[in-house]
Structure formats: C-alpha cells, structure tokens
Amino acid sequence: MADLVVRSRWYAGVLIALALCAPVCLAHAQGSSTRADIAEMLKKHDEALNQHNLEGVLALYAASPKTVMLGTGPGEKYQGKAEINRH
C-alpha cells in the first residue's frame, strides 16, 4: 500500500513538471514575444493567487464552459466558471 502511495506521488510530480515545462518550451520555439506573453500571464496568475483573488485567477482561464480545474483530492474536478466559483 505504501509503495502505491509513493508511486502515485512520483507520477503526479512528473506530470506536474511536464505540464509546467510545456508552455516554456513552446514559448522558446515560437519566439520572444510569446515567451514574454506567457511570463506576463504567469506573473498575473501568481499575483492573483497570492492575493487569494479567485476572480483574478479565473480571468486568466479560457472562458469556455469546458474549462476544468482539478482539485487536490481524488475525484475533485470542477468544470465551467460557475462550478469553479463555488469551490
């Protein structure tokens, strides 16, 4: 059981690392303008998150009703702006 927990955490860490690296790799490949745009968006995201400003964070997400935010627990998945706002 403990091995399963350790393995799950390792896989989660690898997935998070890959997800965080992808935008940087794309920005580097497409030019400095895109890289600057991504850096600015991440700065805005960090500021809003540090200020506990949910509206500021949500403003950076796609406006689509298909936008999904994953929680930290098993099965925590919130789809659409209204559902994300409730949690």
Q: Where are the domains of the chain?
A: 1-52, 62-87
- Residues 9-35 have pLDDT tens digits of 776 776 676 566 555 555 555 555 788
Mean pLDDT of the chain: 78
- Which of 53, 50, 83 lies closest to 69, judged by CA? 83
pTM, full prediction: 0.49
pLDDT digits (tens, 9 = 90+) for 45-57: 999 989 988 888 8
Residues of the chain with pLDDT > 70, as a percent, come to: 74
User: Could you tell me how many residues make up the chain?
Assistant: 87
What's the confidence (pLDDT) of residue 8?
74
